[in-house]
Structure 1
Amino acid sequence: MYETFIELIYAFYYPLLAAIGVPVNLVTIWILSQGKCDLSRCITIYLLAMSAADLMVVITEVILNRILYYYFPNSSLYITPVCSFTIALLCAARDSSVWLTVAFTFDRLIAICYQKLKAEYCIPKTASSVIVAVCLLFCLKNIPWYFTFDPVYIIDNIPWFCQSKPTFYTLPAWIGYDWLHRILTPFLPFFFILLFNALTVRHILVANRVRKGLFSNHGGAQIDPETENRRKSMILLFTISGSFTVLWMPYVINFLYYRITNTYYYAGPTDPGYILQQMAYMFQLSSSCTNTCIYVVTQTKFRAELKKIVKTPFNLTIKLLK
């Protein structure tokens, strides 16, 4: 079934990713929705939206697009119109996930650095509006993907599978759309995340220096609650945005490689260009599962709620046995 060892890796990696990604995102959504993680309502809304978008990425790209391809290649989901719709949907889910990370980073910048704007911007109503706008915008932006594919085979007048039209790589309009797609995700997010984080770090370092001086003048090594809150916010922010940057970097490298070298077709599964492309997808899709791990590492209350969920089946079993 698999010609090379690298194809075997792909075939086992994606079911494993789905087996992890679906439950961890569902658990994250459940825990955050309970409001017991000692996070502001605004932060909670963003994290809920990010988890929901990550779950959609797992469902559309990992399960519907990757796993079905390896294990159920004759599924009706691979009829060309359905396949084209799935690809457009997974692109919308991916873009929404990325730009919600940018929106969250910007929200934390405002909350930490601009106190006058914080009262007006960092509120649940604004967060909800931004999330709806981001998701709607990228659903509309990815509609053209539906029209970029031709069938690979036509069997009994039914078109099967999706391959990019030859004009997609030569027609200026499609080349421009492809560049726009890559610039919007992930080039611009890289730029904005680095910019917002740099501004946030600069502000926090200056503010901490001032507050440290004030506390020193009042004689003591007291714990400053404001500084501690900023430190926790900074850890959460940087781990989420840093994870995004690292896991998306191979995807950026792959795009630059095939556009600069004009390499759009590969000799086979052992072609280095093909391996680079597939490894880039593997890293990029891993980002849909990392946020829960970040919450576990950085948020004490989240860990406590997660432990309760893990212990619940064991506690119920013990009660039944008694």
Structure 2
Amino acid sequence: MGQLTILLIKEIYYPILAVVGVPANLVTIVTLSRGNCSLSKCISIYMVAMATGDLLVMIINVMVYYIFSYHFPHSFLSHTPVCKFILYMITVSLDLSVWFTVSFTFDRFIIICSQTFKTKYCTERTAALVITMFSILIFIKNIPLFSAYELEQMINKLWWGCRPNLAILSSSFGAMFIWFHSIWRVWLPFTLIVLFNSLTIRRVLVASRVRRRLRGHSSENQSDSEMENRRKSIILLFTISGSFILLWLTESVSFVTTRLINTNKYHGDYTAPAYIATETGAMMKFLNSCINTLIYAATQSKFREEFKKTLKYPWILMEGLFKIDAKTGVAW
């Protein structure tokens, strides 16, 4: 029974995550795209991009791979070309989610710490360009993954299944690519997010002290709209960055330890600490793609109001479609 504990948790966890995460990210995208959340167009683009990346993670990684492919091992999803494409998109979707978060963090860093550069960088055009360039780069970067997997078996002249291409993965190129992949997806983003946030904190503390001195002669009860807006922006930034680091940390540490001490072979032992750490890390990192909607709702009152309106809109639409005219008795 103990051996099946982690498997049972996965059976329950991933369907719940998909049921919550897919609609949450869809509604978030619609809500932000309507542009009524009192956010600049620049930050809205980054937030829509993050929600889109998270939605891809929910659909491809959680639904397609951990639910459909797992429960229907003999479906068309197991055909080798389809299987390779799924594995490719698994990596692409995670990379997009991660680097859209880094892009958002850098944009907030610039707008708070560089008063001269922000007018040129923190624009709608630049945000769209950054998101587009990162997307293209990530899709190109992961092309070698197609050769990292090979045909598992031939059934009725059909290519079936995917397995790691040991000849490539065990080569020096394969080892370098695996480590580069880990650094690109986790350790470099971690470093950049911590660096940008540290500099942002320093800038905010200095600016707050100067502003308090300049406003010392004013009434204590007088509101400071600029500082209030900055406070909300900082809370949003740090909450998103902090949740990303915390939820990805277990997966990152387990990857390094299993690689360094060569414990990535479990031989079907589901109680092996390396296996449990790896699966726990995976569950936590996927949770990161479900939690941003909650963060937006908790930190942005206007987003919370618009999110509720978006949720109510389908019901209002249905009510209008099925409303019966009292005089004609015809639905309109």
Verify same fold: TM over 0.5: yes
Alignment partner, residue 296 of structure 2: 295
Asked whether the 8 Å contact 1:11–1:70 carries over to 2, the reply is no
Measured in 2, the distance between the counterparts of 1:317 and 1:152 equals 49
Alignment partner, residue 330 of structure 2: none
Give the residue type in structure 2 aligned to 1:253. Answer: V
Give the residue type in structure 1 aligned to 2:33. Answer: S
Give the residue type in structure 2 aligned to 1:22. Answer: V
Moved more, 305-314 or 178-187: 305-314
Alignment partner, residue 287 of structure 2: 286
Deviation at 1:30, TM superposition (A): 0.6
Alignment partner, residue 258 of structure 2: 258
1:183 aligns with 2:183: yes
Asked whether the 8 Å contact 2:14–2:66 carries over to 1, the reply is yes
Alignment partner, residue 76 of structure 1: 76
Give the residue type in structure 2 aligned to 1:273. Answer: A
Deviations 1:270-293 (CA, angstroms, capped at 9, x unpaired)? 322222111111111111111100
Alignment partner, residue 127 of structure 1: 127
Alignment partner, residue 6 of structure 2: 6
Distance 1:236 1:74, change over 3 A: same
Give the alignment's Cα RMSD to 1 decimal. Answer: 2.0
1:57 aligns with 2:49: no
Measured in 1, the distance between the counterparts of 2:69 and 2:7 equals 12
Q: Which runs of 5+ in 1 are unaligned?
A: none
Give the residue type in structure 1 aligned to 2:230. Answer: R
Measured in 1, the distance between the counterparts of 2:283 and 2:116 equals 42
Asked whether the 8 Å contact 2:264–2:275 carries over to 1, the reply is no
Moved more, 311-320 or 218-227: 311-320
Give the residue type in structure 2 aligned to 1:276. Answer: A
Deviations 1:196-236 (CA, angstroms, capped at 9, x unpaired)? 00000000010011111111133543211111111000000
Asked whether the 8 Å contact 2:251–2:285 carries over to 1, the reply is yes
1:213 aligns with 2:213: yes
User: What is the percentage of aligned positions where both structures have the same residue?
Assistant: 45
Measured in 2, the distance between the counterparts of 1:313 and 1:166 equals 50
Alignment partner, residue 237 of structure 1: 237
Measured in 2, the distance between the counterparts of 1:313 and 1:85 equals 34
Measured in 2, the distance between the counterparts of 1:250 and 1:25 equals 24
Which secondary structure state, in structure 2, belongs to the residue aligned with residue 303 of structure 1? helix
Deviation at 1:52, TM superposition (A): 0.7
Deviation at 1:39, TM superposition (A): 0.6
Measured in 1, the distance between the counterparts of 2:155 and 2:319 equals 57
Give the residue type in structure 1 aligned to 2:210. Answer: V
Alignment partner, residue 16 of structure 2: 16
Which secondary structure state, in structure 2, belongs to the residue aligned with residue 151 of structure 1? strand
Alignment partner, residue 90 of structure 1: 90
Asked whether the 8 Å contact 1:248–1:283 carries over to 2, the reply is yes
Which secondary structure state, in structure 2, belongs to the residue aligned with residue 152 of structure 1? strand
Deviation at 1:159, TM superposition (A): 3.0
1:44 aligns with 2:53: no
Alignment partner, residue 329 of structure 2: none
Asked whether the 8 Å contact 1:247–1:287 carries over to 2, the reply is yes
Give the residue type in structure 2 aligned to 1:274. Answer: Y
Give the residue type in structure 1 aligned to 2:41. Answer: R
Matched residue pairs, number?
321
Structural mapping, 1:78-227, within 5 Å: 78-227=78-227
Measured in 2, the distance between the counterparts of 1:56 and 1:19 equals 14
Asked whether the 8 Å contact 2:69–2:77 carries over to 1, the reply is no
Deviation at 1:305, TM superposition (A): 1.2
Alignment partner, residue 276 of structure 1: 277
Measured in 2, the distance between the counterparts of 1:210 and 1:265 equals 57
Deviation at 1:139, TM superposition (A): 0.4
Asked whether the 8 Å contact 2:60–2:90 carries over to 1, the reply is yes
Measured in 1, the distance between the counterparts of 2:282 and 2:136 equals 24
Deviation at 1:175, TM superposition (A): 0.3
Deviation at 1:308, TM superposition (A): 2.2
Which secondary structure state, in structure 2, belongs to the residue aligned with residue 36 of structure 1? coil
Asked whether the 8 Å contact 1:45–1:128 carries over to 2, the reply is yes
Give the residue type in structure 2 aligned to 1:280. Answer: G
Distance 1:121 1:317, change over 3 A: closer
Asked whether the 8 Å contact 2:30–2:310 carries over to 1, the reply is no
Give the residue type in structure 1 aligned to 2:148. Answer: T
Asked whether the 8 Å contact 2:148–2:169 carries over to 1, the reply is no
Distance 1:146 1:169, change over 3 A: closer
